Chain A
Amino acid sequence: MGTRLRDMIRSIRACKTAADERAVVAKECATLRNAFKDNDQDFRHRNVAKLMFIHMLGYPTHFGQMECIKLIAAGSFPEKRIGYLGLMLLLDERQEVLMLVTNSLKNDLNHSNQFIVGLALCALGNICTAEMARDLAPEVEKLLHNNNSYIRKKAALCSLRIVRKVPELIDYVMVPATALLTDKHHGVLISGVKLCTELCEGSEVALQHFRKHVISLIRVLKNLVVSGYAPEYDVNGITDPFLQIRLLRLLSLLGKGDSETSDNMSDILAQVATNTEGSKNAGNAILYECVKTIMSIEAIGGLRVLAINILGRFLANRDNNIRYVALNTLVKVVSIDTQAVQRHRSTIVECVKDSDISIRRRALELICALVNVSNVKPLTKELMDYLKVSDPEFKGDLTAKISSLVQKFSPNKQWYIDQMILLMVEAGKYVTPDVTRALVVVISNASELQGYTVRALYRVFQAWDGQESLGQVTVWCIGEYGEMLIDNLNEVEGEEPLTVTESDAVDVVETVLKDIRVSPDTVAFSLTALLKLSSRFSHCADRLKGLILEYKGSVVLELQQRAIEFGSILSKHTNIKTALLERMPVLDEATYYSAKQVEVGVDANQTAKSGPHSNGHAKQPNGVAKHLAPETALIDLLSFLPDEQPSAPHQSSDDALLGSLGANVVTSSVPPLSGGADMLLELLSLGTPAAPPLASQESPLPASSQSSLRSSLLDADPFAVPKGSVVSHVMSDQTHNGPASNADPFANLAPLSKPTAAKNPAFPLLVAMQTSGLKITFEFTKQANSPQTTIIKATHTNLSSSPYSDYLFQAAVPKFMQLQLEPASSNILPANGGAVITQVIKATNNMHGQKAMVMKLRVSFKADGQNNLEQAQVNNFPVGL
C-alpha cells in the first residue's frame, strides 16, 4: 500500500546525495509499478500524485500514463482532478495514449458539475491534438453559450487552442466568439477578446467581421479607463490591466490597414496614453501596449508623437525593464520616424554600455538602425571606445555591427581604412573573412591611399597580437605595396614619416608566417607575399627564397605545393618572374559587390568559393586536398594570364580564386569560372585512375575564351606535366599566339576528344564508347518542363564478327545526378552491326547549370564463349545537359 505522498516527499528531500535520491526514487517507482500492476484502485490517485512529483525531479514516468486515463474514467471529482492533472503533466500532445481519453473528455464536457466540465476544458485547452480538436469542437462550441461564466471563459480559451490546431474551424467559432465581447464577466471578456484576436490573425474574414464590432470594444475599454476603484480587478490603482492590454491588442489588429477603424479608436488611445499612470509596472505595461497599438494602426501624426514621447520617458526610466521595452519598441519605430528617435541618441549610446546583455543587444540593434552618413563618425567612435572594454562574449556582435556600419556609411575611403584597421587591432579575431576581403577590394581601388595604408598597417602591426585578420591584410598589403612602405610613396597630409628597410618589411611577413596562432590560410597569404616581394626587394632575395623553401616539407599540402611552385618560379623561371609577380590588377568593386549580392550559383564570388572546393571536398582531410592542390595552384597561375598581368595575390586557397576572378573580370564582364576545376574533380570523385583524358567541357555558363583556355589546359592531364613547364608553356602560348588564338578551346584538344557524330539539331549525337568490337551512341532529348532531366537513348552496335550474348549495360553517375535505366530491347547483339540494342536512360542532373553531366559505363557480354568486360567514362556530354 506504500507511504503517504507527504512522507515520500520528505524522504526524498532528506537525501544527502544524488545517489541516495536515485535509490529512494527507484524504490518508490518499484512500489508504484506493483500497485499499478495490481490495479490498486483505492490509492490510485495518491500513486499518480507521487508519480507527478517524481516526474518533476526528472525521472521517467511513462509507466503511469495509463493510470491517469483510468482515473479520468472514474466517476468522482477527486479522482478526475488528479487524473487530469497527471494527464497534462505526464503526457504531451504527441502521445498516442491521448486518443483514449477523447471519450472521457466528451462525457465530462457534458457533465452536470461545473468543475468537472472545467477540468475537461482545461485539459483539452492545454494538450489537445488536431484530431481531438475536430472530434470535440461541437461540444466546446456548445459550452461557449453556457450561462455559467466559469465554463464560458474556459470554453473560449479551449476554442482558441482548437482553432490553433485546426484553422478551418475559425469560421465555426466566429459567431459565438462575437457574443463573448459583450459579456459582463471580466474572465469571459479576457478570454473572449483573446479568442477574437486569434481569429483575426488567422483569417481575413474574421478580421472584417470584428471590425464591425470595434465600437463595442472601444466602449468596454473606455469603461475600464474611466471607472473608479474596482477592488476585484484593481492592480496598483488600475482597473484590470490584463483586459485593457488584450483590448488594445485586438484594436491594433483591427486598425491596421484600415484608416476608418483607426480613426474611430484614436480618441480612446489618446485617452489611455495620457491618463494611464506610469509609476508602476501595471501602468507601464498598458502604456507600452498602447504605444504598440498606435504604431501599428494608421494613426494620425499627433498620436504618434504622443507614443514616441512615452517611449522617450521609458528610455529615461531607471528601471531596466522599462528601458528594455523602450529600446525594443524604438527599433520598430525607427523606420517610421527616424528624427524622433535621433533625439534620444545619446541615451541609446549609453544603453550599449549597460551591464545587462539584454539591454546592450537591443541598444546595439537600435544604434545600427539610427546610423546615417552624417552621424557615422561620432557613433563609430563611441562604439569603438566601448569595444575596448566590452565583454568577450559581446565583442563578436559588436564587431560585426561596427564593420557593417563603417562599410555602409563611410564618408571617405581613408576614414574607412582607418576604422577597419582600428577594428582589426581591437577585435581582430572577430573580423570575418568577408570583411577583410571587402577591405582588400577597397585598398586595391584606392591607388592614392595604398602607400598610406601599408604604412598604417606596418605601424599598428608592431603591437600585433595574433589577430588573424590584421595579419592577413598586413601581409597582403606588404606583398602588393611593399615598395611604398620603404620609399614612403604617396604620403598623405599629416602622416608621420616612417623609416622602414626592406628587411623590416620582410620581418613583418616572417612574424606572421612563423606565428603558431595563425591558420594555414594566413601562412599561404604570407608565402605569396614573400614571392611577390622577391621581385621588389632585390636585397633580400635569398632570405625570401629561404623562407619560402622552409615550407617545402610542410604537412599542409597546400603550403607545400605553394612553397615548391614558388621555389621553382624563383630559381628556374627568372625570365617570367617579373611579369608574373607584378602588382595585382585593381579589383573591380562594382563586380565584387554585385557578385556578393547575387546568391545564385552564377555569381562570381560564389563560383570562386565553390570553385575547387565544391562537392564537399573542401572540408575533407588532406587526402583529398592532395588531389585538389594542383588544380588550385594551376588555376591561380593560369588565371592571371588572360589580361597579361600576371600576379599572385593569393589570399587563401579559395580567396585566391576571388583574386583570380578579380583579374578575370577586368577583361570580361562574365564571371567565367568554367567547369574546368569542377570537371577534374568530377573525374577524381569518380575515382577512375585509368580514366581517359577529359574532353573539353564547356561550362554551362557562357564561358569566355579565357576560361575555355583554362579548362582546356587543365584537361591536358596536369599530373603528367611538370608545373614549371605548364607555366612556361602557358606563358609562351599566351605571348606568342595572343588571346585570339585561344578563342577555340577545342583547337589543341582535337586529338583528345572523341569524334562526334552528325549533329542533332538540339543536342549532338554522342559516341559514348567505342572499342574495336563495340560502339555505343547516345541520343539526347529533353523534356521542355524539366531542364534537369535528360532522356538518353543508348544504341549499342556490335562491330565485331562474332555475336554477343548475355549483353548487359550498366551506368553509374556521381552523387549530384540520378539515373534510371529502362530495360534494354534485347540482351543479344548480332555480329557486324546486324541489329542494335536500344536502351533508354533517364538522367537527372541536380546541379543543372552548375555542373556538367558525367557518366561511367560498364558493359559485359559473352563473345565466342568468353566473358568480356568493357568500361568507359563519358565526360563529353553536350553543353546544357
Chain B
Amino acid sequence: MNCSVTGKTPIIIGWRIHFVLLISRQGKVRLTKWYSPYSQKERTKVIRELSGMILSRGPKLCNFIEWRGLKVVYKRYASLYFCMCVDTEDNELETLEIIHHYVEILDRYFGNVCELDLIFNFHKAYYILDEVLIAGELQESSKKSVARVIAAQDTLIDNAKEQANSLSNMIAQATK
C-alpha cells in the first residue's frame, strides 16, 4: 500500500454531523446518536447544556446555536426538538433539510408520528436513523427507499417471530 503522500498533508476533519439529539419540551431525552467520540460523562453534560440552551430560545429566533466551536441546528416539531450538531463550516440550511427528511420518514412509517410513538418504539426510530445516516453522513435522499428497506427488515423480523411461535407450538404439542 502506498502511503507516501497522504502522510504529508494533514487530515482536515470534514463536515459531518457529530451527534443527533431528540429532546422533548420537558427536557427528556428521546433519542441520542453519537458519531464523534464523547464519553458517557461528556454526553450527559452536552445534553444538559444544550437542552437548557435550546428550550429557552424563543420561537422566532434562528435555528442555529454556536456552541463550543461547533454549530447546533435544531428544529421543533410539536413537542419534540430535533437537534443535530455540525461543524461550523457545514451548510446549516441543509442540516435543517436533513432533520426534516428524517422527520418525514418517521411520519410515513408511524403514520402521523407523535412523541409517544418514539417513546414506545424508540428502537425503531434508531433503525430508521441508521438507514438515513451513517458515520454522521447522509446515505439516502429517497424517503421511499428508506421506507422500503425498513419494511423489508420488519418483515424479516415478523417471519422469524412466526417461525419461533410455530416452533414452540410444535414443541408444546409434541411434549403434551
With both chains docked as a complex, state the minimum distance between the C-beta of B44 and any C-beta of chain A, in angstroms. Answer: 6
- Contact (A92, B134) CB under 8 Å given A77-B156, A153-B140: no
- Contact (A58, B142) CB under 8 Å given A164-B13, A167-B11: no
B98 at the interface (CB under 8 A from A): yes
Contact partner of B149 among A150, A321, A359, A361, CB < 8 A? A150
A593 at the interface (CB under 8 A from B): no
Interface residues of A in 159-176 (CB under 8 A from B): 160-161, 164, 167-172
B46 at the interface (CB under 8 A from A): no
Interface membership of chain A positions 52-96, coded 1 if the CB is closer than 8 angstroms to chain B and 0 otherwise: 110011101000000000000000111001100100110011100
When C-beta atoms are compared, the residue in chain B nearest to A292 turns out to be B91
Find out whether the CB atom of A233 lies under 8 angstroms from the CB atom of B93. Answer: no
Which residues on the B side are within 8 Å of A481 (C-beta)? none
With both chains docked as a complex, state the minimum distance between the C-beta of A536 and any C-beta of chain B, in angstroms. Answer: 52
Which residues on the B side are within 8 Å of A56 (C-beta)? 29-32, 122
Contact partner of A157 among B134, B145, B161, CB < 8 A? B134
Which residues on the A side are within 8 Å of B126 (C-beta)? 85, 89
Find out whether the CB atom of A169 lies under 8 angstroms from the CB atom of B1. Answer: yes
Q: Which of B56-64, B77-85, B106-114 contacts A (4 or more CB under 8 A)?
A: B56-64
Which residues on the B side are within 8 Å of A201 (C-beta)? 11-12, 14
A38 at the interface (CB under 8 A from B): no
User: How far does the alpha carbon of A373 sit from the alpha carbon of B32 in the complex, in Å?
Assistant: 50
Interface hub of B6, B11, B39, B60 (most chain A Cβ within 10 A): B6
A194 at the interface (CB under 8 A from B): yes
Contact partner of B39 among A82, A94, A323, CB < 8 A? A94
User: How far does the alpha carbon of A288 sit from the alpha carbon of B12 in the complex, in Å?
Assistant: 22
User: How far does the alpha carbon of A232 sit from the alpha carbon of B141 in the complex, in Å?
Assistant: 9
- Contact (A58, B137) CB under 8 Å given A9-B120, A358-B61: no
Find out whether the CB atom of B92 lies under 8 angstroms from the CB atom of A321. Answer: yes
User: How far does the alpha carbon of A358 sit from the alpha carbon of B53 in the complex, in Å?
Assistant: 12
Find out whether the CB atom of A93 lies under 8 angstroms from the CB atom of B37. Answer: yes
B interface secondary structure, majority:
mixed
Find out whether the CB atom of A187 lies under 8 angstroms from the CB atom of B145. Answer: yes
Find out whether the CB atom of A358 lies under 8 angstroms from the CB atom of B64. Answer: yes
Contact partner of B37 among A77, A94, A121, A323, CB < 8 A? A94
- Tally chain B residues at the interface, Cβ within 8 Å: 66
User: How far does the alpha carbon of A167 sit from the alpha carbon of B33 in the complex, in Å?
Assistant: 24
User: How far does the alpha carbon of A172 sit from the alpha carbon of B6 in the complex, in Å?
Assistant: 11
User: How far does the alpha carbon of A97 sit from the alpha carbon of B102 in the complex, in Å?
Assistant: 31
User: How far does the alpha carbon of A191 sit from the alpha carbon of B141 in the complex, in Å?
Assistant: 10
- Tally chain A residues at the interface, Cβ within 8 Å: 81
Which residues on the A side are within 8 Å of B32 (C-beta)? 56, 89
Find out whether the CB atom of B119 lies under 8 angstroms from the CB atom of A9. Answer: yes
A43 at the interface (CB under 8 A from B): no
Find out whether the CB atom of B152 lies under 8 angstroms from the CB atom of A115. Answer: yes
Find out whether the CB atom of B94 lies under 8 angstroms from the CB atom of A285. Answer: yes
With both chains docked as a complex, state the minimum distance between the C-beta of A537 and any C-beta of chain B, in angstroms. Answer: 53
Find out whether the CB atom of B6 lies under 8 angstroms from the CB atom of A203. Answer: yes
When C-beta atoms are compared, the residue in chain B nearest to A320 turns out to be B62
Interface membership of chain B positions 151-173, coded 1 if the CB is closer than 8 angstroms to chain A and 0 otherwise: 01100110011000000000000
B5 at the interface (CB under 8 A from A): yes
Q: Which of A234-242, A615-623, A822-830 contacts B (4 or more CB under 8 A)?
A: A234-242
A289 at the interface (CB under 8 A from B): yes
Which residues on the B side are within 8 Å of A58 (C-beta)? 29, 44
Interface membership of chain B positions 36-76, coded 1 if the CB is closer than 8 angstroms to chain A and 0 otherwise: 01111000100000000000001011111110000000000
Closest 4 CB pairs of A and B: A285-B93, A320-B62, A168-B3, A125-B134
Q: List B residues at the A interface (Cβ < 8 Å).
A: 1-3, 5-9, 11-15, 29-35, 37-40, 44, 58, 60-66, 91-94, 96-98, 100-101, 119-120, 122-123, 126-127, 130, 134-135, 137-142, 144-145, 149, 152-153, 156-157, 160-161
- New contact pairs (6) apart from A154-B134, A167-B7, A355-B58, CB-CB < 8 Å: A60-B40, A81-B153, A168-B1, A194-B137, A205-B6, A288-B94
